[in-house]
Structure 1
Amino acid sequence: MGRPARGGCGRLRGAGERPGGGALVSTRRRISREAGERALEAWSAAHDSGAAAVDRQTEATAVRYCLEELAARHPGNAVEVRVPPFGVAQCIPGPRHTRGTPPTVVEARPQAWLELATGRLGFTAALAAHAVEASGVRSDLSGFLPLFPLEGADAQTAVPHAPAEPQEVAPEAQDPSAEGQAH
């Protein structure tokens, strides 16, 4: 009766998992700052040294800590950030959804999420590399990341990429054959 619920393969279910493997639930602050920073530092050291990945528990703690931090710094319910299988966070002010799939979703693999959170990867570059999937009008997280920028890193990796401004294309640039035509 008093035993914790177990997920598949006999392991304990994490904060973002439901019985039966259904949808993840929104994360609340459950990881202490010390434990989160320790896990993030261990992941960072392994990542930077090119060593094998950290153990699953350390990676899960680092991912959940970064999700919790994003939600704490930018509270709201307009965007759902998913990092399966470890967790999900709702963040950023805006319209709130109450049922079904939210209108704005960002989903990343754990490695990509940690690279984004630490500034090793910019959001635009992550989209271009298909490391992140984003849908909805508020899905550009460039202004909210990195959460933990690298100390002493160059601007290429430590600063998130600014969202691209839409640019109008001149009519003559749209149709190259129109250039030689009479007006």
Structure 2
Amino acid sequence: MRANPDFPETWFISMSVIGRPNLLTRPRYSGILARQLNDSQQRQEIIVRSHLLLPDQLLLLVQPFKSPLAAWMQYFVKDTALHICESLRTDMQDERKEWFSFFVNRDNNGVEVFWRNIEHLPVGSEKEFEAFESRMLSAPVKAGYVSAPEYYPYTWFNNRAGIDHTPFQFNAD
């Protein structure tokens, strides 16, 4: 049950890759995330409102649509880990190959350990939504990737990854 019945069920999701690699903003891997998120939207499971990719972290603001968040999250976490790990097995870049073989998949359980620090927090109001978007926009600046959020290419408004999103339309009271 939502705390605010006037605000649609919305969640802030944060997921990190184990070992903090420079991975998710590579076209090969951002493409996997984009396909999975876009497919979920095509199946009307979720609506992506905002997203941000860092080299080692995915941040999302989503609304469950025809699928409960817990069910969608379970599928998304497992499926993205599976596809990214499959792609890492054939990655030609020695550093990533070594990181995957010796750090992630050393016990042949890469899919189970790929994502860590997975959190999903409820968003109960327009003010909270805007605070989470602000948190997302400050992340690449705090990490030192850019001097201002508008220069970072992996946001919902610059969208180099190609993740479909539907901006939130707030009521003008």
- TM-score, normalised with respect to structure 1: 0.25
- TM-score, normalised with respect to structure 2: 0.26
Q: Which has the higher strand share?
A: 2
Larger Rg: 1
Q: Using CA pairs under 8 Å that are at least 6 residues apart, name the structure with larger relative contact order, 1 or 2.
A: 2
